[in-house]
Structure 1
Amino acid sequence: MPEMVESTPSTRSTGSRTVLLLLRVLTFVFLLIALILIATSKAIDADTGDRINFNDFYAYRYMISVIIIGFAYNLLQMAFSIFSVVSGNRVLSGNGGYLFDFFGDKIISYLMISGSAAGFGLTVELNRNLPSNSFTNKANASASLLLIGFLFTAIASTFTSFALPNKAIT
């Protein structure tokens, strides 16, 4: 009969650190692509001949701001995760580090879902009045990638909530 091997806390924490790093890398990739799509999305207004880009719409400006904030936060967390996986130690030791991870992931994920919703909402409104074009298609794709980034950050938030020690809450 095969022997049952119990995983030690360090094995489990190494595994969860690796999964967390993978989630952060995936979020980073999706946010980068979303940023490139929305920033390069341009069109020409058929009536006036004016050039249209994301900067002409408040919802798209909000979406790109959220992408940049999420990108910066995720870059910081990726660096922390890489350090943690390589060294086995946390950069921010103590309860403050766990709380920073937990609340940071929560706040950023909520910003990301609201940015995605703003982008989807404006795209629907623009497509209602104008025919779908490459500008709105790219903006819609960017909002979709932001939504996927939100999902990865929300999952990472679940992992950071498991790491939150009981004494940090009290």
Structure 2
Amino acid sequence: METSGVPPSRSTVSRTAVLVLRILTFVFLLIALILIAINKDSDLGVKFSDVYSYRYMISTIVIGFAYNLLQMAFSFFGLVSGNRVITGNGGYLFDFYGDKVISYLLATGCGAGFGASKDLHNATDGYDLSNFFAKSYASASLLLFGFLFTAVASIFSSYALPKKAY
């Protein structure tokens, strides 16, 4: 295969980087969702839905997952076709505000998961729930990575905004 020697444009590199970030977010959120959804202690009958903070955490994961899936499709389409799905300034504004809101939502879900795991683990000294809390910590940790990748994607969308929207 012969290459022309011309490096890819900054736009193509940026779109590829955002797509990679979205794929990584997708993977981390999927694993976090699976871990928290199957989290239960069969001996004591404790499950994730018994704790409001874990319900909030799973809600933020699902919302972030759905948004990220939509953005992955948009990013893939933009990379393949070279065009944006939402044309004009609206697409850039959607990316900017969507990434900001979802990253903050994922951060709060992560904080709720870590906080509940720590507090409840300390409050259940007489019971062996270490496996239950280990899965909760793992899910919150993966959610943290999902937040970080979404936050980095939001940086890319903020760089694109001033050039295109104003």
Q: Structure 1-normalised TM-score? A: 0.88
SS at match of 2:9: helix
2:135 corresponding residue in structure 1: 138
2:87 corresponding residue in structure 1: 93
Question: Does the 8 Å CA contact 2:99/2:154 hold for their aligned counterparts?
Answer: yes
> Residue type matched to 1:15 in 2?
V
What pairs up with 1:76-155 in 2 under 5 angstroms? 76-131=70-125, 132-155=129-152
Question: 1:46-100 CA distances to partner (integer Å, 9 max, x unpaired)?
Answer: xxx4x11111011000000000000000000000000001001100110000000
Question: Does the 8 Å CA contact 2:92/2:160 hold for their aligned counterparts?
Answer: yes
SS at match of 2:46: strand
In 2, the alpha carbon distance for the partners of 1:149 and 1:27 equals: 5
Cα distance, 1:127 vs structure 2: 1.1
The 4+ residue runs of structure 1 with deviation greater than 4 A are none
Question: 1:99-155 CA distances to partner (integer Å, 9 max, x unpaired)?
Answer: 000000000000000000000000001111225511111011000000000000000
> Residue type matched to 1:63 in 2?
M
**Aligned mate of 2:69, from 49, 68, 75:** 75
Question: Does the 8 Å CA contact 1:37/1:138 hold for their aligned counterparts?
Answer: yes
1:22 aligns with 2:20: yes
> Residue type matched to 1:106 in 2?
K
Give the number of aligned pairs: 159
Cα distance, 1:168 vs structure 2: 2.4
1:158 corresponding residue in structure 2: 155
Q: What are structure 1's unaligned runs of at least 5 residues?
A: none
Question: Does the 8 Å CA contact 1:95/1:165 hold for their aligned counterparts?
Answer: no
> Residue type matched to 2:96 in 1?
F
In 2, the alpha carbon distance for the partners of 1:43 and 1:134 equals: 8
Question: Does the 8 Å CA contact 2:92/2:164 hold for their aligned counterparts?
Answer: no
In 2, the alpha carbon distance for the partners of 1:165 and 1:117 equals: 31
In 2, the alpha carbon distance for the partners of 1:155 and 1:65 equals: 22
Cα distance, 1:167 vs structure 2: 6.1
Cα distance, 1:166 vs structure 2: 4.7
In 1, the alpha carbon distance for the partners of 2:162 and 2:87 equals: 12
SS at match of 1:66: helix
